[in-house]
Chains A and B, each alone.
Chain A
Amino acid sequence: MTVRKIVTIVEEVCAEGGREVTPAARVAVVAAVIENPWAGQGFVEDLQPGIEQHASAVGALLAPQVLAALDAPAEAYGKAAIVGLDGEVEHGSALIHTLKFGDHFRKAANATTLLPAVEKRGPAGVVFDIPLKHVTDATIRSHHQTVEVRLADAPHPGEIVIALAAAAQGRPQQRLAPLSTER
């Protein structure tokens, strides 16, 4: 796996809706810009060898870093695969939609749910939103949130951006009734 660049983003919201948020709401993202393992090979029918070779390694690279950047227990999490213009969305999905990738994050975060994801294809500098849900119960409404990301010069046409996101809490000023109240 060739990694060109690793990007860390930490957002802290200190106020929302005109009211202070205490402690500040933290969301962290760590993204690796990697070479698309299937670049230049035409239509590859069997993606499994590439998945075996790379998916676990990317997950192992990103999981500890996003938790370190968050510097708090993760209560919500999500993932992203943004494929450069010469690749297939399927290439990005191949790397993140396997337990080999996600289990690194799940174990490190003491999580049990599946990671919500964004997969898309775009040019360098494309804006993408990573959805996050609660790490042990995806129906906990207070923790449904997204974080917006843009990397100025990635992905190149032959690259894929793989990212993990973690939040230390739900939405700032969350105050919606839980799902159970509507059942």
Chain B
Amino acid sequence: MTAVDTARVRRTGTPPDAASGTGPAPAARGARSAVGIRKVVLYRETVLAENGSAPARPSERATVAAVLANPWVGTGPATDLAPAVEVVAPVLAQLLTGRLIDALGGVDRIEAFGKAALVGTAGELEHAGALIHTPYFGNLMREFLGGESIICFADTRADAGETLVVPMWHKTHAATRSHYQTISARVPDAPRPDEIVVIAAASTGPRPHARIGDRATDPVVTAEKLEIS
């Protein structure tokens, strides 16, 4: 089997309910064009060595970014965002999580997640928030990725090419300290002023050499105990 075949098997091996974004299914493509997606960018990194040695548990991290037309450009601050959110956000949740699952080798391998949005300069930050902070995105992303935690996030308004550092934490136990981590996301030519970049991020494991304890091992630390007045 060639490397290309292997990748194809991995891509088509996505569980059907996770709605793979990579398949050229006409319905999915239609939905994408209906929400005005210009570009989809996958970034995946595998850390083989950190500070000179291999991680005990090597993990892969990935982001998938979709660049779409801001549906609210030119509208005022009193505009009800809900109608467009209900149409656009579920398409994004399905597309982005499908790609993440494919890129990381299956939903069961994903241990941590996060989300982010960058709105172009002709939009409001509220527009970015509208696409990632409602159940039409967040609940679906959690469901598709088999999570239970609230999904941590970053958002900003920026020119094209801005780097956004996306936080992630454990998908079922958000307080798991070993899984607090971030990944840098950047699309070189987006967002244009009238666009929004929506990003889903995930990791298959903890930080490379996680060793800063956890709530279960922490001593009791208070200002009084440390004699900080």
Contact = CB atoms under 8 A, between A and B. Distances in A.
A65 B3 contact: yes
Nearest to A12: B40
Given A7-B45, A13-B38, A14-B39, 10 more contacts: A5-B47, A5-B49, A11-B41, A13-B39, A15-B33, A15-B37, A64-B2, A65-B3, A67-B3, A148-B188
B41 A12 contact: yes
* Binding site secondary structure of chain B: mixed
A118 interface: no
A106 B32 CA distance: 34
5 contacts: A2-B49, A4-B49, A7-B45, A16-B38, A152-B163
A69 B186 contact: no
Given A68-B3, A71-B8, A152-B184, A3 B48 contact: yes
Interface string A48-77: 000000000000000011011111100000
A69 B43 CA distance: 11
A85 interface: no
A80 to B, nearest CB: 15
Contact of B43 (A7, A24, A65, A68): A7
A98 B44 CA distance: 28
B42 A10 contact: yes
Chain A interface main SS type: strand
Contacts of B163: 125, 150, 152
Interface of B: 2-4, 6-8, 11, 24, 29, 32-33, 36-50, 103, 163, 184, 186, 188-189
Contact of B7 (A20, A22, A68, A150): A68
A9 B47 contact: no
Contacts, number: 81
Interface of A: 2-16, 20, 22-24, 64-65, 67-72, 108, 125, 127, 148, 150, 152
A71 B43 contact: no
B4 A9 contact: no
Contact of B48 (A5, A9, A22, A71): A5
A74 to B, nearest CB: 10
B38 A15 contact: yes
Given A12-B39, A13-B38, A13-B39, A68 B47 contact: no
A11 B39 contact: yes
A53 B44 CA distance: 28
Contacts of A72: 4
Contacts of A65: 3
A12 B11 CA distance: 15
A14 B38 contact: yes
Contacts of B50: 4
Contact of A9 (B8, B32, B42): B42
Contacts of A5: 45-49
B91 to A, nearest CB: 12
Contacts of B41: 9-12
